[in-house]
Structure 1
């Protein structure tokens, strides 16, 4: 299977895409990992979550002006519709994505 570009990943038809901009060395990013897994499990088949390592993908981080990590950006039909810098509780994250779930 060919590797998809970032633009292709966030343009998922009919399904919002939550992008987690993170780094392996970032403590709050590690805190977010189980929260993202929980939200992914709750919304399986309705929400796509992708992780972008800012050290390995600086262009994607620059494109969306990610200045601190973790930064979460929710894309709906390829457009950013919600953004949060810093760790987010599962309940707040669920509340943010809910309006965009089909």
Structure 2
């Protein structure tokens, strides 16, 4: 018993010591690893909040499959006129980093608001005439159309 309490006390005292900074390691030629070798007991790996278990393990990055509703319109104006709900349009380019960052977010928005807003993406390099018509000067640009007309605009 005395041995275990001594080892516990020494473990606690080692936790209270100031930890070396990143500069201390870099000046001594040692490298830092981003992963920790500290392993928590299984009981501590799960936290409970209001009867919901929240795991400390990373969540899967796989999104659920969603059946895309593919529709064909002769023109973009035709799409805007025939839509009964507001149309949220992202003007993007394939080389645009922030545009690529928005892909999973827009996918999630289109799933959550599927009955409220129609989400459309327009590649400005494939359709420069549409980009010119709506004066797209920076990417990504988001325009919300209501009743076929631009209602609100956000330039990122």
TM over 0.5: yes
Residues 37-93 of structure 1 deviation map (CA, whole Å, 9 limit, x = unaligned)? 11111111221111100000000000000000100000001011110011xxxxxxx
- Decide whether the 8 Å contact of 1:16 with 1:77 is kept in 2: yes
Partner of 1:51: 121
Which residue in the other structure is 1:80 paired with?
A: 150
Counterpart of 2:9 in structure 1 is none
Partner residue in 1 for 2:28: none
- Which of 95, 111, 125 is the equivalent residue of 1:25? 95
The 5 A counterparts of 1:1-102 are 3-86=73-156
Bigger RCO (CA 8 Å, 6+ sep): 1
Aligned residue pairs total 86
Q: State TM-score, norm by structure 2.
A: 0.52
Aligned alpha-carbon RMSD (Å): 1.5
Write out the 4+ residue segments of structure 1 that deviate beyond 3 Å after TM superposition: none
Change (3 A) 1:76 1:55: same
CA distance in 2, matches of 1:2, 1:25: 25
TM-score for both structures, normalised by structure 1 = 0.78
- How far 1:10 sits from its partner (Å)? 1.8
> Which structure has the bigger radius of gyration?
2
Question: SS state of the match for residue 98, structure 2?
Answer: helix
Shift of the 55–13 alpha-carbon distance from structure 1 to 2, 3 Å rule, reads closer
**SS where residue 110 of structure 2 aligns?**
helix
SS of the residue aligned with 2:105?
helix
